[in-house]
Amino acid sequence: MSKQALFIRHANEVITLKGSSQKPMTKEQMEELHIVKGGSVWLEDGKIQAVGPDEELLATYQDRLDEAKVIDATGQVVAPGFVDPHTHLVFAGSRENEFNMRLQGSSYMDIMNAGGGIHATTSATREADHEQLYTESKRRLDKFLVHGVTTIEAKSGYGLSLEHELKQLEVAKRLNESHCIDIVSTFMGAHAVPGDYKENPEQFVNLVINEMIPKVAELGLAEFNDVFCEHGVFTPEQSKRILEAGRKNGLKPKIHADEIEPYGGAETAAEVGAVSADHLLKASDEGMKMMAEKGVIGVLLPGTAFFLMAESANGRKMIDAGVPVALSTDCNPGSSPTVSLPLIMNLGCLKMGMTPAEVITATTINAAHAINRGHEVGSIEVGKKADVVILDVPNYMQLQYHYGVNHTKTVIKNGEVVVDEGRLV
């Protein structure tokens, strides 16, 4: 039985981002939202069937109006469902005590070396069973949904052993099957060196390469493979080996790069042909140039810099250099405990020098390309998934002007209304 058609009418602006499904947008293209003023959208069978001026769609579907549910978007903005391309969705526990330590002067690496940071969440996640992880993560997903996110990436990396990495990925798979948000999974066994391998990190690298990656690939639990390339974590050489091992097993490479200090992470991303390099607070000019040449997407995480009280990545410089840029919450319990992609968009403008149009592109079509979903979501075009948000503002500029506010009124996922008047249906 097919779903009832939805006819969204009379929007002040329909942000289509048309023509960007084959590759991410760069430089001046990121300003081109391809807005239809006074626009309407017809959704049916889980797909976008038509988009254009209201009078055109009214003429096309005049004989079928009684079949459709009409949604009046007068005075509002219609946009593609938001895409969050970098999260650590599945974890247990909380680390508000570290927030207090940071306010008193402790650094990220100070906390991690004292047994906090990733290691603290690893302990809590290892102790949690599937059901606890599922329940806590579902609660986060629901909050993402009311902020307009319809597709999300979820990394493992809080297990740091084969058993518990698989547990995280199994929970993400179960959530993908049961929740309306689409979840794209990334294996990140190389998120940190566990304490029992501290004196021999190379042994852990071999464990990731020889045992974890093949098993994850065999079970089909992840599409991507990520590594934390950072001084004191994994070297560029180790990172290359881990990412190449993933590629041999069918996992596409991603990399946490140059977050704490310049370390050649952006260059490594370009050398291995990573789909994206993420963080990049300290990326070198040469690294940015290499990323632009290879088409590596820069996934920037301004919420992390904000929460760590650090200087943000230079989004303006990256865009001008030709790097395709996406934005993400980096939702995680230590350095960015937020589910608010609208806040991240605000920070993209206020802390990274990006324009309101660029942050829309960075949280829709470019974010979709960062997880290989640009052909399915991220723009309002005929044939794509019927993932749409209706925002209670008269124009897209007000999304960033009224900062710190969730303007999401209605969320439509696969052609069904799942959030109405800001609440889960």
95 annotated binding-site participant? yes
- Name the band, by pLDDT with cuts 50, 70 and 90, for residue 2: low
CA trace torsion 13, 18, 20, 26 (10° rounding):
-50
- pLDDT higher than 60, residue 261: yes
Write down the mean pLDDT value for the chain.
97
Q: What is the DSSP string of 92-131?
A: ----HHHHHHHHTT--HHHHHHTT-THHHHHHHHHHS-HH
| Contact between 83 and 328 (Cβ < 8 Å) | no
What would the mean pLDDT of 12-39 be, rounded to a whole number? 98
Q: What is the pLDDT of residues 147-200, one digit of tens each?
A: 999 999 999 999 999 999 999 999 999 999 999 999 999 999 999 999 999 999
pLDDT at residue 299, rounded to an integer: 99
332 annotated binding-site participant? yes
130 annotated binding-site participant? no
pLDDT at residue 392, rounded to an integer: 98
- The two tokens of residue 410 are 């209605």
34 annotated binding-site participant? no
- The two tokens of residue 106 are 């402790």
- The Cα 328–Cα 363 span in angstroms is 7
pLDDT at residue 1, rounded to an integer: 46
**Residue 69 forms beta bridges with which residues?**
6
Q: Which is nearest to 50 in space by CA: 36, 31, 66?
A: 36
Q: What is the DSSP string of 299-346?
A: EE-HHHHHHTT-PPP-HHHHHHHT--EEE----BTTTB----HHHHHH
What would the mean pLDDT of 316-335 be, rounded to a whole number? 98
119 annotated binding-site participant? no
What would the mean pLDDT of 407-425 be, rounded to a whole number? 98
- pLDDT higher than 90, residue 113: no
CA trace torsion 122, 239, 151, 171 (10° rounding):
-30
- pLDDT higher than 60, residue 204: yes
Q: What share of the chain is helix, strand, coil (3-state, %, to 5)?
A: 40, 25, 35
Q: Which is nearest to 43 in space by CA: 9, 19, 76?
A: 9
| Contact between 14 and 40 (Cβ < 8 Å) | yes
pLDDT at residue 37, rounded to an integer: 98
330 annotated binding-site participant? yes
pTM higher than 0.85: yes
What would the mean pLDDT of 357-371 be, rounded to a whole number? 99
Q: What is the pLDDT of residues 31-78, one digit of tens each?
A: 999 999 999 999 999 999 999 999 999 999 999 999 999 999 999 999
Q: What is the pLDDT of residues 116-125, one digit of tens each?
A: 899 999 999 9
Residue 255's identity, in one-letter code, is I
| Contact between 205 and 234 (Cβ < 8 Å) | yes
pLDDT at residue 345, rounded to an integer: 98
- Name the band, by pLDDT with cuts 50, 70 and 90, for residue 280: very high
What would the mean pLDDT of 335-342 be, rounded to a whole number? 97
